[in-house]
Amino acid sequence: MSQLHRRFTDEQIKVLLRGYCQRKMTRADVQDLLGIGKTRFFALVKSYRHDPEAFSIAYLRTASARLSAAVETRIEHALLREKQIVEDPDLPISGYNYSALRDRLRKDGIDVSLTTIIRRAKQLDCHHPRRKKKIHDRQVLTASIGALVQHDASRHLWSPFAQEKWALITSLDDYSRKILFADFFPAETSWAHIQATQALMERFGLPLRYYVDSLRVFRFVQGRDSFWRKHVLQTDDVETQWRKVMRLLNVDVAHALSPQAKGKIERPYRWLQDRIVRTCVYEKLSTLEEVRSVLRDEVNRYNNDQVHSTTGEIPNIRFERARHAGNTLFRKLILPKPYTSLQDVFCLRERRMVNGYRRISLSNHEIQVANVPLYEDVDIHLVPDIDQRLMRVRIWWHDQMVHSVALPLSEFRVHF
């Protein structure tokens, strides 16, 4: 078959690629019409999306340049380093990422093709055959931003130079696939998820629904009865601290019943995980703030530079287009009555009874509560201040705050 530039004009190919980008034609149809393979097809799509007006398939013959010995050495060193990362059992990496390696070489001024890197990888035994994946028909089920926020966390050793594992908490808008929140926390706790939720809602507003798994932070799940034990409380009979915040703000919650059902957020997780761990290894990062800087760069790249494989658009552009068109289900964050402070909404909640001395007991502390009748129940709002190592306690009775006090955080047994 003759070469592509001899069989089609630039305008003819533009029409076909435009049809694919607008989802009017499938990849298979365009490839069949052009008589090209998948690699060539995606190279044309990338060039077209970069500058549709200047797109051209004009054939320019260039002499192939042989890589210098210095460049070959750098590629070999990078691949062997990549092999160490993949084979390290303590790191959450199980496969090679040649695209990430290519990007890192480009930062060092070495521009080589992905094909060249893969060819060298096979020669150095730094290659795993790609496993055939089950075909999954990905689609966007929501029609507006804010209709569904996918929320999840992952705890790993993000850098071999770090002394501990950290939890990455992430929230993703289903319609645009934009990452709305991503940050590291020392541990995955109820308070960490409440803080992540507060940060998202203060910036974007209240979504219609959150989509989470059945982790104990989000849901009380009781096992089945047995011959030896009968459960009094069943699944969802107890409301978790995070779920109390959602109920107060009138935000619906849906639960995924399997890891496969969380695929839409698991894929960005794997992408972030792959890039962040490798950067930490190459740059020898060890502190939480250093790794946070890498996370911000990768989230910015994902939101503003990467064309999503399902939507065919850059997440942030798709999000902003919907927002400007009014296609949003985000609601303004308004404090529910009678509260006047965010500390009374995004907090941990307890309940105590006032004893005969008008006191309540909280973590071995006796707190005097005036102006509350004896033996009445009071609501306690707990706001951990990690930086100052304080627990701010706000006591409410009959829709009024009757007392507030700050106590040492170390005296509370709950891990924050």
Residues in the chain: 416
3-state secondary structure of 381: strand
103 vs 114, 162, 260, 285, 343, CA distance in Å?
Answer: 10, 24, 30, 18, 43
pLDDT in tens, 48-68: 898 888 888 875 444 456 788
23 vs 18, 27, 59, 152, 176, CA distance in Å?
Answer: 9, 9, 28, 30, 16
Amino acid at 204: F
Q: Is the pLDDT of residue 416 over 50?
A: no
Q: Is the pLDDT of residue 232 over 60?
A: no
pLDDT value of residue 108: 82
Beta bridge partners of residue 348, listed in sequence order: 382
Hey, what's the torsion of the CAs at 85, 92, 155, 313, to 10 degrees?
100
Hey, what's the torsion of the CAs at 228, 234, 239, 240, to 10 degrees?
50
Whether 90 contacts 157, CB under 8 Å: yes
What's the start-to-end Cα distance of the chain, in Å?
A: 66
pLDDT in tens, 147-193: 999 998 888 888 888 889 999 999 999 999 999 999 999 988 999 99
Using CA atoms, how far apart are residues 265 and 139, in angstroms rounded to an integer?
A: 13
Amino acid at 168: L
DSSP string, 346-373: SSEEEEEE--TTSEEEETTEEEE-TTS-
Instruction: Identify the residue with better confidence: 312 or 251.
Output: 251
Tell me: domain 149-324, CATH 3.40.1190.20, correct? Answer: no
pLDDT in tens, 123-137: 888 887 766 655 554
pLDDT in tens, 12-35: 888 899 999 988 899 999 888 888
Whether 416 contacts 189, CB under 8 Å: yes
DSSP character at residue 206: B
pLDDT value of residue 238: 73
The sign one gets for the Cα dihedral 295, 296, 302, 303 is positive
Least confident of 91-95, 136-140, 190-194, 257-261: 136-140
Hey, what's the torsion of the CAs at 195, 161, 89, 81, to 10 degrees?
120
User: Residue ranges per domain, the chain?
Assistant: 4-50, 69-123, 149-324, 342-411
235 pLDDT tier (thresholds 50, 70, 90): low
3-state secondary structure of 185: strand
DSSP string, 105-169: HHHTT----HHHHHHHHHHTT---PPPPPPP-------SSBTS-EEEEEEEE---TTSSS-EEEE
Using CA atoms, how far apart are residues 175 and 330, in angstroms rounded to an integer?
A: 12
347 vs 245, 368, 414, CA distance in Å?
Answer: 8, 21, 14
pLDDT in tens, 275-297: 888 888 888 899 999 999 999 99
Q: Is the pLDDT of residue 222 over 90?
A: no
Mean pLDDT computed over every residue of the chain: 85
